[in-house]
Amino acid sequence: MPAELVLATWNINSVRLRRPIVERLLNEIEPDVLCLQETKCQDGQFPAADFRKIGYPYVALNGGRGGYHGVAIVSRLPLGDIKARDFCGKGGDPRHVSAVVEVGGTALRLHNFYVPAGGDEPDVSVNPKFEHKLRFLDEMAAWLPETAADLPSVVVGDLNVAPYEHDVWSHKALIKIVSHTPVECDKLEVARQAAGYVDLARQFVPMDQKLYSWWSYRAADWRAADKGRRLDHIWAHPELADKAASYRVLKEARGWERPSDHAPVLVKFAL
């Protein structure tokens, strides 16, 4: 029988503040590997010891120096060749970490990204945050094909773009809103296609079906409003995409105590 790998990605919006629900996910869902974004803590502050106690002894961290942004990989499988890359010439801006995982004789490289949100105004002439986001996506597109020659790879994370019409609650209402503007959607697609990645969500969920992973804190009742966006992604090389057995957004986690505004996204591979 093929070996299974359950991979999860989650923008946790402060791992120390929301450590209890991270532990709940690890205990109840038991992914083999969990990728976190927006950890908001330096490496020495990361609660690795707490996760070790519940069976996740391996971590790959990029927390930077200021306690902003931050990405991490938490795993019950050994993590090898851990790397972190700076983007856009911004040292100390922790938005990427990668590691090699081996399952059933198959080794793959896992890239965990936190793409800049881009601010509120989709105009580079007045909003440097939006310019940063577009440059980041361009650099991803140029760099990912280089690293793809290393090992079969998977890209996960909060990519902060909802690229397709039914990745948002209203294409018409959001087409001029940061995260769904045509320029962002186009650049994210270029980055995905540059190294031939498959969007696993849309491999399992048809393009004409609504699919979200983020619901704003601003909604008085996020469930009733259901004005979501699909900002969290899992991409895989075709040879790995062919081995993807299931996909789901754990929507109920958005309603856990002191939740993140993102829900975990999970994929199971049969390797």
Q: What is the pLDDT of residue 48?
A: 98
Say what the alpha-carbon torsion angle 192, 241, 78, 95 is, to the nearest 10 degrees: 20
Digit-coded pLDDT (tens) for 36-73 = 999 999 999 999 999 999 999 999 999 977 778 999 99
Out of 37-46, 52-61, 148-157, 184-193, least confident range: 148-157
Query: 131 is written with which tokens?
Result: 């310019």
Range with lowest mean pLDDT among 43-57, 107-121, 141-155, 161-175? 141-155
Structure confidence at residue 241 (pLDDT):
97
Q: Which 3-state string (H, E, C) describes 209-228? A: CCCCCEECCCCCCHHHHCCE
Of the chain, the percentage scoring pLDDT greater than 90 comes to 92
The residues near 206 (Cβ < 8 Å, ≥ 6 apart) are none
Distance CA 195, CA 179 (A): 22
Q: What DSSP character marks residue 248?
A: E
Alpha carbon distance 33, 80 (integer Å): 13
- For the cut 80, the answer to whether the pLDDT of residue 149 exceeds it is no
Cβ neighbourhood burial of 65 (10 Å; 0-12, 13-18, 19+): exposed
How many other C-beta atoms can be found within 10 angstroms of the C-beta atom of residue 246? Answer: 13
CA dist 252 and 223 (Å) reads: 10
Single-letter amino acid code for the residue at 271: L
- What are the tens digits of pLDDT across the range 64-102? 777 789 999 999 999 999 999 999 999 889 999 999 999
Decide if 200 contacts 234 (C-beta within 8 A): yes
Q: How confident is the prediction for the chain on average, in pLDDT?
A: 96
* Percentage of residues in the chain having pLDDT higher than 70: 100
State the pLDDT at residue 194.
95
Helix/strand/coil for 6: strand
pLDDT digits (tens, 9 = 90+) for 238-259: 999 999 999 999 999 999 999 9
Predicted local distance difference test score (pLDDT) of residue 1: 64
- Inter-residue contact 233 to 245 (CB < 8 Å): no
Buried b (16+ CB within 10 A) or exposed e, 197-212: bbbbbbeebeeeeebb
Burial class (CB in 10 A: 0-12, 13-18, 19+), 216: exposed
Contacts of residue 155, defined as CB under 8 A and 6 or more positions apart, other chains included, come to 111, 113, 144, 192, 197, 233, 234, 235, 236
What value does the mean pLDDT take over residues 125-151? 94
Chain centroid to CA 174 = 21
Q: Which element (helix H / strand E) includes 191?
A: helix 182-194
Collapsing DSSP to helix, strand or coil, 202 comes out as: helix
Taking alpha carbons only, the member of 253, 260, 162 closest to residue 211 is: 162
